Amino acid sequence: MAFLTDRKRVVGLGSAKTGTDHFWAMKKSSVALLILVPLFIFTFGGILGGTYEEVVAYYSRPFPAIIAALTLLVGFKHFNDGVQVLIEDYVHGTMEKVLILVMTCVSYGAAAVGVFAIARLAL
């Protein structure tokens, strides 16, 4: 027999036992995007309007390529988490699971394509 109060047993657990972890993951990715998006705009704005050769030379440097890749990865992860919450709130049943699976595949696929494109430019 556990000597825990009802409140102590549920602290940190949502109704599905993942709500708090999901909430903090969204908060962490939001803070990361607060830092990465201005850096991305700053680095991308410097090359905006350049020729293809200038863009390739610019993204061959590590800093702009890393900032662009991190912004893509964190952005699509944040997007995926947000869409998952939206789907969980408004869609139920089998369609909920199907939509979450589809959106996860789309999010990670788009992130992979973006990182591949940056890698092609950088290498």
Q: How many residues does the chain have?
A: 123
Domains in the chain: boundaries: 18-122
Among the four given CATH numbers 1.20.1300.10, 3.30.450.20, 3.30.70.1290, 1.10.287.70, the one describing domain 18-122: 1.20.1300.10
**How many beta carbons lie within 10 A of that of residue 31, not counting itself?**
11
Position 5 scores a pLDDT of: 76
Q: Which two tokens stand for residue 38?
A: 């201005």
Tell me how far apart the alpha carbons of residues 54 and 60 are, in angstroms, rounded to a whole number: 10
**DSSP for 46-85?**
HHTT--HHHHHHHHTSHHHHHHHHHHHHHHHHHHHHHHHH
**Chain CA centroid to CA 8, Å:** 32
Tell me the pLDDT of the chain (123 aa) as tens digits. 567 777 766 666 556 666 788 889 999 999 999 999 999 999 999 899 999 999 999 999 999 999 999 999 999 999 999 999 999 999 999 999 999 999 999 999 999 999 999 999 998
The model carries a pTM of 0.82
Of the candidates 110, 24, 72, the one whose C-alpha atom is nearest the C-alpha of residue 102 is: 110
Output the CA–CA distances (angstroms, integers) from residue 121 to 21, 43, 117, in the order listed: 36, 15, 6
